[in-house]
A and B are shown apart, each in its own frame.
Chain A
């Protein structure tokens, strides 16, 4: 047998080929090999003796074979459904002793295999999905971290309350979201979902149950928030909430990405709306959506900002498009696609059951339904770029060119994220790009797969082309873990990554927790 040198997780091995081979690319395996199962029987025996229920076999494990990305496949050796912090603590302590990898899964909405277990234990957090308490006066909620956002919203609505910001896909879990960010169409005003966390109950990789916040165990809090699951499992979270309000939404249409983004940034900089974002059909129809929680804010927008926007209304834009395609008859297929997409998607945002007096009464459901129905497919390929405000237009335009090269149809989703100066330590080595001040901007580049069949290599080449732009521009990414982790050292630099790796090794000596996600 060939002697294959062991490479410690997170380290970059030597390259005997040549220093200038694969320029810029770190010598790091990014698609994980299956864990070899050493010590599994003893581990299982210890767990079961401790009263932890662990399911084995293809039926139990097969459910977790992939994630929303649908391009990474792996099977755990066994599955544990999370029940309480004590059970999770015992699991991690035992896993440390036996050096068994533990992969944590919430909604499984990762796209790069981050919540796929390549052997070891898969810990499914959906067993911890209760709302613990709601403080209506103090506007906070304490919830178990495996809860989906839509379930949390449902509980809060009974009290006429609402979460502050959450990802548009409501089947993501609270714990998973706090670990990566969570971007909403109000993030330009309120920050990302992770910014709404006041305190957390965390089980550390060595099995300690710790309550942490900015004032208590602050260092752990900083690492767990936006920490991609490396420094602990969030079992409970206290979040800021707000009184529930319906919202009124307006749509402005552009044929230029640049102009639409400039207008979006004007609105964000001037706090002119409560919600803002851009959703496109390729780069042909660019929709700037603007929404308001209150009549006062809406009136202020109409008085001061509406006239400055360069977008069209629906009818005006339709006329523009008609003129555009009349002069370019060879693009009739593109025109037909726009028309078809408009007919399918637009009514989804105006469904009568969610609208009263032209106000949207349940954006949670409206957006989540629309996302799954019109953007989701068996495979979700959504590479993204996150940049400071001044670099955003260039990043989107370059990413758009890549989309055009690889796919016929695609959509772009752009949104701003208000940065909170007091949370700067949270943002280190996260989707918040280094150097961003005030706002960061993110764009997702999502091909419309529409039943098409592509190889993983095709998707990977597309994602690499987008991520290479990020390396070139000094940006960051929302989805940089799992199969894309080869980009982490490229964008953040060795010094920062090595510092985090040292912290990880200290916290997780056997490197068991979410082993293949970041390091």
Chain B
């Protein structure tokens, strides 16, 4: 510790408030430059751009290497550094966790285990070995460029609804460089995808960047579960939380959901013991509020008639001319079609209709 972490670092205002309330004000060392992000700008192939400020002001641009370390220190948690999870055995009244420390096997005995190990979670694989084969996987990678000229505002996180660029394309400033990121279905070539985006940015937005530095990074992502309410919360005494469970909000930010759902998993264990209720039942009932909050962001009815996001998309849309609004809706539809192959449409529609009828999302679909 501290350890490197792949992340955009743009934390939502809700996540910022959680850190503040639980761990105190962020020290300067935990932030990149620029230290804050004012909002999100959506860009469309028709060259319409929609800047949207976050509702509660700017939000931190976290340096995850140090902000995670700071939060761990502030929490008072005991850390077993350089120890990696390798498997677990559910024993009914406890769990045996197998791990490796400096290459040597170590074993932990715990009454409950919380898996918070990100999208390609080893804990999820240990509990549901076939799960990873059942969902589509994406790769998300970012490269860092020295800037020659960049007209994109450094105050915003930029996102492109462009089916030709990839499933998730973004850019923002960090520590004097420009991040160019691209997400695509696993199996495609990162270098090629990235080159397409870099050329597009130069051609369409005048973003002139030097060749990428060597410190590029990437990881596997599970975009689907929060769209279609297919979360994975574990089994028996093993709870799964954060992005491992499938929490990811619409701007691809998983930190605020991870902070809140992680806290809920801990609370669920305490409450389950105090009330003598099975921990899975307790966790699933408590996590329902976080599911609502996260899945609402992907729910087309909520997007159309409510404000589920932390920036005001409907207001930004209405600020455009009629012609531009039409262009935006057309481009968004074309972008959505990119995801057609995953057959999420009916599942999204079913979840969207469930929300007003039962006041939430069905727990039956959770693993």
Contacts and interface: CB of A to CB of B under 8 A. Distances in A.
Contacts of B290: 455, 457
A453 B282 contact: yes
Interface string B54-80: 001111100000100110011110000
Contacts of A1: 73
Contact of A21 (B13, B24, B267): B13
Interface string A418-457: 0000000000000000000000000000000000111111
A456 B286 CA distance: 8
Contact of B289 (A7, A30, A458, A483): A458
A29 B26 contact: no
Interface in A19-41: 20-23, 25, 27-31, 33-34
Contacts of B26: 15-17
Nearest to B275: A378
Interface stretch (B15-23, B92-100, B198-206, B214-222): B15-23
A13 B24 contact: yes
A13 B21 contact: no
A454 B286 contact: yes
A137 interface: no
Interface string B105-142: 00000000000000000000000000000000000000
Most chain A Cβ neighbours within 10 Å, of B25, B57, B76, B286: B25
Nearest to A25: B17
A34 B20 contact: no
A7 B271 CA distance: 31
A457 B57 contact: no
Interface string A368-410: 0000000000100000000000000000000000000000000
Given A16-B31, A23-B57, A73-B270, A455 B264 contact: yes
B30 to A, nearest CB: 8
Contacts of A34: 76
A16 B286 CA distance: 34
A18 interface: yes
A21 B286 contact: no
Contacts of B73: 1-2, 4
A5 interface: yes
A31 B22 contact: yes
Interface in A254-287: none
Contacts of B60: 17, 21
A457 B285 contact: no
Nearest to A406: B289
A17 B35 contact: yes
A21 B270 contact: no
Interface string B1-32: 01000000000010011001111111111110
A14 interface: yes
Contacts of A15: 25-26
Nearest to B13: A22
Contacts of A16: 26-28, 31, 35
Contact of A457 (B56, B282, B289): B289
B21 A29 contact: yes
Q: Select the residue from A16, A28, A34, A452 with max chain B CB neighbours within 10 A.
A: A16
Contacts of B275: 378
B263 interface: yes
Contacts of B56: 21-23, 25
Contact of A453 (B31, B57, B286): B286
Contacts of B22: 29, 31
Interface residues of A, number: 36
Given A18-B58, A453-B285, A31 B31 contact: no
Contact of B21 (A2, A18, A20, A31): A31
A456 B20 contact: no
Interface in B140-180: none
Given A4-B73, A73-B270, A29 B264 contact: no
A111 B20 CA distance: 21
A419 to B, nearest CB: 33
B14 to A, nearest CB: 9
B299 interface: no
A21 B31 CA distance: 13
A29 B31 CA distance: 18
Contact of B20 (A22, A378, A461, A483): A22
A10 interface: no
Contacts of A23: 56-57
Interface in A309-364: none
A470 interface: no
A452 B260 CA distance: 19
A2 B16 contact: no
Given A16-B28, A21-B13, A457-B260, A4 B58 contact: no
Interface string A450-487: 00111111100100000000000000000000010010
A3 interface: yes
A394 to B, nearest CB: 23
Nearest to B285: A453
Interface in B275-328: 275, 277, 282, 285-287, 289-290
Contacts of A457: 260, 263-264, 289-290
B57 A22 contact: yes
A16 B16 CA distance: 13
A22 B285 contact: no
Nearest to A36: B76
A141 B277 CA distance: 46
A34 B73 CA distance: 12
Given A18-B57, A18-B58, A7 B25 contact: yes
Contact of A25 (B20, B29, B58): B20
B32 to A, nearest CB: 11
B36 interface: yes
Nearest to A29: B24
- Max count, chain A CB within 10 A of own CB: residue among B28, B57, B282: B57
Given A2-B27, A15-B25, A17-B31, A456 B263 contact: yes
Contacts of A21: 13, 16, 36, 56-60
A7 B24 CA distance: 9
Interface in A49-95: 73
Interface string A104-132: 00000000000000000000000000000
Top 10 closest pairs, chain A to chain B, by CB: A29-B24, A18-B36, A13-B25, A458-B289, A453-B285, A27-B25, A16-B28, A23-B57, A455-B286, A20-B57
Given A33-B24, A455-B263, 15 more contacts: A1-B73, A2-B29, A7-B24, A16-B28, A21-B13, A21-B16, A22-B57, A25-B20, A28-B24, A29-B25, A33-B74, A378-B275, A453-B286, A455-B289, A455-B290
19 contacts: A1-B73, A2-B30, A4-B70, A16-B26, A17-B60, A18-B35, A22-B13, A25-B56, A29-B23, A29-B24, A31-B21, A33-B74, A453-B285, A453-B286, A454-B289, A456-B267, A457-B263, A457-B264, A483-B21
